[in-house]
Structure 1
Amino acid sequence: MKTAAIYTSVAGGAGLLAAFPLWLGDYGQGLAVGFMGYVALACSWALFSGPTRYVSLATVAFFGIGAYSVAFLNEYVSYWLILPCAGLVGLAVSLVVGLATLRLAGIYFVIFSFGLAEMVRQLLTWYEVNITGALGRYIFAPVDTRHIYWMLLGISIVAIGLRWWIDRGRLGLAVRAIGDDETVAGHAGVDVTWVKLALFSLSSVLITLVGAVQAPRWVYVEPSIAFNPTISFMTVIMALLGGASRLWGPLFGVIPLFLLFEWLSGHFPDHYSMILGLVFIAIVFVFPDGVLARIEDGWQKLRCRRSESEVVHERLA
């Protein structure tokens, strides 16, 4: 009964979110797309980085690959066929990158993942300037804001559903073992490389699709837009605030930070990047395991105190 109630609540919430853009004007729909885009990115990022504790800054690399897949192909192929093509490109790149780099750990992986995004951006810039002779490309796709929102909502649901399914199976146990101690997990029989590669590829494909889905919003795209490093940092901050190791953590991190960043970008555009860095530092120090973990710990302590008080009352009685 409890499980059925949870499923019903989740389905009802998804239905309300799906109907949300029908009540909004053009500006509201734009904000809704921005919000749902970061929900999809944060949930997809946490699919790999949450349980393994590998902090990846390669989010914008795959996001940009998705956007540029649409930019390159929209003149020749239907937009609805470009999306699976973009997913395949993201899968191919993630397999190559994963096989080459997932043996790295700690700060080395973080540095490489950040460098990957910059390398892809520079390669595309060189290609556009020296081969095509034009830095940017126009995107004309028959898709409106509401369709983009619904597709992003679908990606978010897929990311959360995959995380839920993985957590309940043997793969979830293997991933958590890797997150706790990778060496011990390997000695216990876990194929560490395969597990990390599988999750990294799943996460990367979803992030690539987010970039491909959002690309028509820009109409005109160039490397500095599609590969803006702020996208990676904001995704990490949002996921960490809510709790990347929790199923619903990224969603709870996106809600307050998206509203905060929208307000800051409008009121403090010149100091936005500095404030973003300060927020990042504050979250790491104040909520190292996320808000949901802090709430769960507080609830457990409260229950323990109640249990102790009940035992005392029983003894006194």
Structure 2
Amino acid sequence: MSLRTLGAGIALAAVCAALVLAPLHLDAYGLGLMIGIVGYATLATAWALFSGPTRYVSLATVAFFGLGAYVVAVLGETLPHALVLVAAALVGLAVALVVGLATLRLAGVYFVIFTFGLAELVRQLVTWYEINVTGTLGRYIFLPIGPKEIYWQLLALAAGTLLLSWRVGRNRIGLALKVIGDDEVVAAHSGIDIIRTKLALFAASAVIITLAGAIQAPRWTYVEPSIVFNPTISFLTLIMALLGGARRLWGPACGAVPLFLLFEWLSANFPNHYPIILGLLFIAIVFLLPNGVLAFAEDLWRRAGTPRRRRPAARGEETAR
């Protein structure tokens, strides 16, 4: 084992230990910030698990996130919390399989439009059901789960998501997804089962996003569709993944940390201009950092480390010498 690998391992272990012990040394506000950061890091990494290699831009993040929260709101007081999380994962899996089988043949802007419409459709269906069947718009959640437990659950989910993303990137399915993202015609002629491969990763991403919503549901005493199906969640997840680099293992998480803190500051200080700033930031990232900030930093580091070639001497200079 080289010294560089050993040093990286020690640094990673130190960071993990600091993250695990953070709730023991933070106040309520700091712990809330950490829950938001880890939550969005998980969402961005799960989004990039499918959309990164395939280049399928999905805006359905909030649909699965909201479903997870509502499963907890419905079953939270009748089942143990562990079984509620399992139920949320199964609901997310079922919806992802149905949606994936129906839509993963779409591509480009058609897939983007459909996923955005899917999120709105789910929100409207839940709203209709709550008003016409249960007779109320939202639900109360009273569970003995505090911020520390929510944070540790999210941290475990984030670690599992990163591990899955690392494993997929070094597996045959990860290579197949990259080929699909580059050219589906070539992938089909290479013998790759395109539909099954895309469906598997889309379902895995959806289950993780659903669990993220289910874990964070106890933070809200009262949930309703406008809260848990807020389309801003989808756009923030997308921007964070693109900023860090959706095709990099650590990219989405690295993009989530600074942007979440920035968005918290903007929403507190510029609440009326927040959507405009969000849109401008999205445009800037797409045009200035299309491959993410990590790829940009690596490119700068590579250029700085490459020695400049000496300019060839002109013929007159050689004669003078």
The TM-score normalised by the length of structure 2 is 0.93
Q: How far off its partner does 1:303 sit? A: 2.9
- For 1:47, which of 40, 46, 49 is the aligned residue? 49
Show CA shifts across 1:224-246 (max 9, x none).
11100000000000010010110
Q: How far off its partner does 1:301 sit? A: 2.2
Equivalent AA in structure 2 for residue 268 of structure 1 = F
Q: How far off its partner does 1:4 sit? A: 4.8
- For 1:145, which of 144, 147, 156 is the aligned residue? 147
- For 1:183, which of 165, 182, 185 is the aligned residue? 185
Given that 1:57 and 1:114 are in contact with CA atoms closer than 8 Å, whether structure 2 keeps it comes out as yes
Counterpart secondary structure, 1:305: coil
Extract unaligned runs of 5+ from structure 1. 313-317
Equivalent AA in structure 1 for residue 98 of structure 2 = V
Partner of 2:263: 261
Q: How far off its partner does 1:75 sit? A: 2.4
Question: How far apart are the structure 2 equivalents of 1:13 and 1:84?
Answer: 29
Indicate the percent of aligned positions where both proteins have the same amino acid: 62
Question: How far apart are the structure 2 equivalents of 1:46 and 1:6?
Answer: 24
Q: How far off its partner does 1:166 sit? A: 1.0
Q: Is 2:197 the partner of 1:195?
A: yes
Q: Which moved more, 1:17-26 or 1:101-110?
A: 17-26
Partner of 2:235: 233
Q: Is 2:280 the partner of 1:278?
A: yes
Extract unaligned runs of 5+ from structure 2. 314-321
Q: How far off its partner does 1:81 sit? A: 1.4
Partner of 1:315: none
Question: How far apart are the structure 1 equivalents of 2:56 and 2:216?
Answer: 26
Show CA shifts across 1:238-281 (max 9, x none).
01001011011011111211111011010011111111111111
Given that 2:68 and 2:213 are in contact with CA atoms closer than 8 Å, whether structure 1 keeps it comes out as yes
Question: How far apart are the structure 2 equivalents of 1:97 and 1:73?
Answer: 24
- For 2:68, which of 62, 66, 69 is the aligned residue? 66
Q: Is 2:154 the partner of 1:159?
A: no
Given that 1:43 and 1:239 are in contact with CA atoms closer than 8 Å, whether structure 2 keeps it comes out as yes
Question: How far apart are the structure 1 equivalents of 2:130 and 2:226?
Answer: 12
Q: How far off its partner does 1:300 sit? A: 2.1
Given that 1:79 and 1:142 are in contact with CA atoms closer than 8 Å, whether structure 2 keeps it comes out as no
Q: Which moved more, 1:284-293 or 1:3-12?
A: 3-12
Partner of 1:36: 38
Partner of 1:208: 210
Partner of 1:243: 245
Counterpart secondary structure, 2:306: helix
Stretches of 4+ aligned residues off by more than 6 angstroms: none
Question: How far apart are the structure 1 equivalents of 2:85 and 2:293?
Answer: 34
Q: Which protein has the larger Cα radius of gyration, Structure 1 or Structure 2?
A: 2
Question: How far apart are the structure 2 equivalents of 1:38 and 1:23?
Answer: 22
Equivalent AA in structure 1 for residue 94 of structure 2 = A
Question: How far apart are the structure 1 equivalents of 2:32 and 2:257?
Answer: 15
Equivalent AA in structure 2 for residue 243 of structure 1 = G
Q: How many residues align?
A: 309
Q: How far off its partner does 1:80 sit? A: 2.1
Q: How far off its partner does 1:5 sit? A: 4.3
Question: How far apart are the structure 1 equivalents of 2:204 and 2:51?
Answer: 11
Equivalent AA in structure 2 for residue 176 of structure 1 = K
Equivalent AA in structure 2 for residue 153 of structure 1 = L
Q: How far off its partner does 1:113 sit? A: 0.5
Question: How far apart are the structure 1 equivalents of 2:143 and 2:177?
Answer: 39
Equivalent AA in structure 1 for residue 64 of structure 2 = F
Question: How far apart are the structure 2 equivalents of 1:74 and 1:165?
Answer: 32
Question: How far apart are the structure 2 equivalents of 1:5 and 1:160?
Answer: 20
Question: How far apart are the structure 2 equivalents of 1:176 and 1:78?
Answer: 40
